[in-house]
Structure 1
Amino acid sequence: MECRLCLGPAPAESSVSIFGNPHPERLVQRIWTCCQIQVKRGDGLPDTVCLSCKTNLESLISFRKACFRSNETSQLRLDDCLKIKTEEVLLEDVIGDDGPSSPKIPRKKCKICSKTFPSESKLVSHQKRHSEEKPFKCDICLKSFNQKSYLDSHKKRHTGIKPHKCEICLKSFALKYKLELHKKLHTGIKPYTCDICLKSYIQKYQLVSHLKTHLDKKPYQCEVCLKSFSIKYKLVIHLRSHTGEKPYECEICSKSFSQSSSLVRHLKSHTGEKPYKCEICSKSYIQKYNLVEHEKLHTGIKPHTCNICLKSFVCKYQLVRHFKFHTGEKP
């Protein structure tokens, strides 16, 4: 019995089994986060950690959390300071040199959405959102933006630096607002609910995009195969199937994906994390929809029936695969 990390003796009574504890994915993730060592179940290497190394891991995690908290506190102080200075400048613009009795400077109003702004420059910057003009282009991936601040935020993704880290799951983000959105996942609160199907979302724009799926309108059409979509980003993702573009690359094995969600799912295969567990047979899965499909096996219900031979299947993909026997298709 050897320790996976220091190769020192790790007898059963004074060691921790990596995959034998109640939360193996947590220990695997900590080893990867602190040591950049990839641990897989059944890889033939030691699968225990001595108490000394486990204590060191916990100390490292605690130290990292303390550093991130301190950095966040410093950033909040800086943001508060900048906010105060900004409010002072705006107050001077409104009050003027003669004090509070001076007339207020009229705010500039957008003719399209009626939103008001304190200056002409901010109004011009805002109006670019309503136009197709995107003068600020990324020199790395050539993506265009209508505001310079959006381009600056986008460029941080190419640096690979992710200074904003979640204290709960240690996931990192390049932008602070992305971290704030991610934290809502841990709370489970989804305040925006669809009145039609009662599906809930964390952000308002997600609900707005979802509502379009209930409409018959599909204004975004692919110029290659003429397939239509109700949401623009779905067309963007679909076009990658024609171009072969896969912009999301795994840093561990260099495998590429067309969608960021596919990369997130793929990364779990390196950590061995399978968070979705069947309550009946305890079998675990990386993705939730795999668990949903698996749970149907326990019900005995087979809702998908072949209209030719009347054979039934638990999952739709099984019916699609079966149907090829009747068509003779061999793709």
Structure 2
Amino acid sequence: MEEQELQDDSLQFSSRVDLTQLQEAVSKIKSELGRVIIGQHDMIELLIISILANGHSLIEGVPGVAKTVTAKLLAKTMNVDFSRIQFTPDLMPSDILGTSIFNVKTSEFEFKKGPLFSNIILIDEINRAPAKTQAALFEAMAERQITMDGTEYPMEPPFLVFATQNPIEQEGTYRLPEAQLDRFLFKINVEYPSLEEEIKILESKHEQKDQIEEDLVNTLLTAKQIAEYQRTIKEIIVEKNLLKYIASIVDNTRTNANLYLGASPRASIAIMDASKALAAINGRDFIIPDDIKKVAIPVLGHRIMLTPEREMEGLTAHQVVKQIVDSIEIPR
């Protein structure tokens, strides 16, 4: 009887927001990326969620697991400007923001925009640039504008940053401070492919021969459509008991004995926004507890800090988040 009532409720909810076009677009994007990228379904889905939720993503994994190529090909499916910036220890803020150049004809300084003035920006090895350059990037990420010589330059929407970093090689890197990590909606951990997936990768690469990967992926979305889908996500329904569930998860990070630093209210908002996008991708205009549980780890994993004792024991932030989520009663 209860199952029948839930189905009736679902049918009633499904008519509130039309998600047909959004679902079709997401399905086509996954299909296009699947022509080149083998596996990595979680990374692709989380990156799509971050676009719909209008949030930036940090992608962490060892070299060679398709972090950069996935972000690059995802950008290719959208008819928007794309910039790729390789962060290095000698990179200065002006190298990414731009600089004022004196125009002899007009006898005035003109601002020449840097590569950060784009729609989708791929930052390779974000932790290799010094603090000044990182700060300049994060200001743009947070405010979605840049101030130069007293003039504000707004970033054209969509403005999304996908940044990669290598968790193993730490020599010559600058650790991202917690306040800056907090600006990322997700931290996506990319694992090695399975044996079966690796065989398929080899087969696919062999069949491609001289074909360029970017040429295998078609453009599907415009900036206008992306903005429309982002507005649609805001219409997704969230029941009050689920808002309490999200708040309880985040609040638990602040009192958990395993943690030295808990998550801020920005994390609660991030879980809610990401859950809305995940629900929409699955054709629902209302979120369910499973949506919250699925996005909690990539949202919270980089926002909390383990106590030194737990870190020495080998406990990870992801394990703690999973323990917290599993310990809180699911709303009925």
More strand as a share of residues: 2
TM-score with structure 1 length normalisation? 0.22
Q: Say which structure, 1 or 2, has more relative contact order (CA 8 Å, 6+ apart).
A: 2
Q: Which has the higher helix share?
A: 2
Radius of gyration: which is bigger? 1
